[in-house]
Structure 1
Amino acid sequence: MPESDSTFRRPDLLRLDYDTYRALPAVANSDLSRLRDALDGRPPRPQTSAGDGALSFGTAFHTALLEPNDYVAGQPGLNDTLVWWLVEGVKLDSRLNELLALGQPEVSVLFTEPQTDTLCKLRADLVVDHPDQPFTIIDFKTTMARDADHFLWQCAAYDYDRQAAFYTDALHAERFLLVGVQKVEPFGVFTIEVSEQMLAEGRQKYQRLLRLLKAPATAPAFRAEAVQAAVDSLGLGGPEE
């Protein structure tokens, strides 16, 4: 669990471009996904940057929703009409529309995870720090989930619970909302307030992976080489003393 609220000061919310954030020498949730993939025997994920060419649909949707002035229409392979249709669907939800109006989009945070003393970073879709609202983090996911129950299942299967715990603990957020936006008909919007049980399960996941990052030799022997390669690829200078 995070340290006592009485001794905690929330880290600053930073406005950084994506590539500057990526270059920060700290561990991100996506880095933990690479360690998980190594443990599971999956192939390494390609590294990406904002300048890699055609945007993914999810990236385009996030830009249109959270930083619409930065949206560039006509990108190869993107259906601009569909992107803006999904944005409109989110804004039709009055509660989400209010949070979008109150929140700070695409903020970056540097923090030290206390259980493993690891320098970490995160980039949140939306943070709402407003007197009339609980301190809230919102993360938007485009999804092929059939319905809300299917999306809830995906939250654990895709380790969204780990992300929620990683972010919640870093900022001592009072609420974390996962918003699934269907990118196929009927284009539903599913909002899940992450439960304490989900946070506890996600916390176990991220702390286990951070411990592995500190001590990759503790990985099972048949995965040791892949795990060490994943740790080396992070370029963080190896485990701290």
Structure 2
Amino acid sequence: MFTDHRHHPGLTQEAHRALPLVSNTDLTAAKNRALGITRRPNPNALAFGSHFHTAVLEPGQYQRTTQRIPWAQIEDLAAAVRRQRFCRDLLYRGHAEQTHTATHEATGLTVKVRPDLMITSPKTGRVVLVDFKTTSCPDYASFCATIEKYDYDRQAALYVDLLGAARFIIIGVQKKAPFEVWQFEVAEAPGLIEQGRKKYERLLKAILQQQGHPITQATPCSPMQAQPHAFSRV
């Protein structure tokens, strides 16, 4: 399904975004083009999400800026995450914001992913991926309904397949008080990974067709500092 898996340690978020490879965001753009949707992402929402992830995953690098976003809310959400023992354990054992690339065999396209957290068992090599999502949902049932609506199943399948992961855990963090924190195990939901896989496979083929190329094997990319399958142990 994916070949030539490479780990790019030390790559910054900006450098990751600059890599001319296919991302999950590109899959969303391809879907929107197919549906005739021209809606653009809200820059304030993107900034909020970026700073929230920094506050949770890399608190040493978090700091307020002059951007007009609700900093106190971001800090409340990050504190809510860290109050959960399960989340603290994941954050302690996981490696945050690491870029990985691999070639999709069926299309030859090279794909890039950057999981929020990646945990590799030192004994078995079993890989667990964790993704944090902020949500306006009032309860857990409503949050679960967004998994398919926002194509989190597609993201999970793409990351699981590229990284050979056994689990993909979504942590939903409520944006408003009481700032509840919810856990959703994608792989445990019958058929959800398979559904997400069909979504990303179809969109990768659509991207290839939009580029005007036949479906053939691609030349593996070699971005800076590429290292073959170099997972860190915990």
Cα separation, partners in 2 of 1:45 and 1:38, compared to 1, 3 Å: same
Cα separation, partners in 2 of 1:23 and 1:9, compared to 1, 3 Å: closer
| Deviation by residue 1:109-159 (Cα, 9 ceiling, x = unmatched) | 111112322111011111111326841111101110121111111110000
Cα RMSD over matched residues?
2.4
Number of residue pairs aligned between Structure 1 and Structure 2 = 212
Is the counterpart of residue 185 in structure 1 residue 177 in structure 2?
A: yes
1:150 maps to 142
What is the deviation of 1:81?
A: 2.4
SS of the aligned residue for 2:38 comes to coil
Contact 1:135/1:175, CA 8 A, preserved across alignment: yes
Unaligned runs of 5+ in 1: 217-230, 232-237
Contact 2:130/2:169, CA 8 A, preserved across alignment: yes
C-alpha distance in 1 between matches for 2:155 and 2:45: 26
1:176 maps to 168
SS of the aligned residue for 2:34 comes to helix
SS of the aligned residue for 1:210 comes to helix
Is the counterpart of residue 120 in structure 1 residue 111 in structure 2?
A: yes
1:76 maps to 67
Contact 1:138/1:176, CA 8 A, preserved across alignment: yes
Letter in 2 for 1:203: R
C-alpha distance in 2 between matches for 1:69 and 1:86: 16
Letter in 2 for 1:180: G
C-alpha distance in 2 between matches for 1:179 and 1:110: 24
SS of the aligned residue for 1:212 comes to helix
What is the deviation of 1:162?
A: 0.5
Report runs of 4+ in structure 1 exceeding 6 Å deviation: none
What is the deviation of 1:75?
A: 3.4
Contact 2:8/2:100, CA 8 A, preserved across alignment: yes
1:214 maps to 208
Greater length-normalized contact order (CA 8 Å, ≥ 6 residues apart): 2
| Deviation by residue 1:12-69 (Cα, 9 ceiling, x = unmatched) | 2532112211121210010010000111111053698xxxx99621111101011112
SS of the aligned residue for 1:25 comes to coil
1:99 maps to 90
Contact 1:165/1:199, CA 8 A, preserved across alignment: yes
C-alpha distance in 1 between matches for 2:42 and 2:66: 20
1:239 maps to 213
C-alpha distance in 2 between matches for 1:30 and 1:136: 21
Q: TM-score, normalised by structure 2?
A: 0.82
Letter in 2 for 1:137: L
1:90 maps to 81
Match of 2:193 among 199, 205, 208: 199
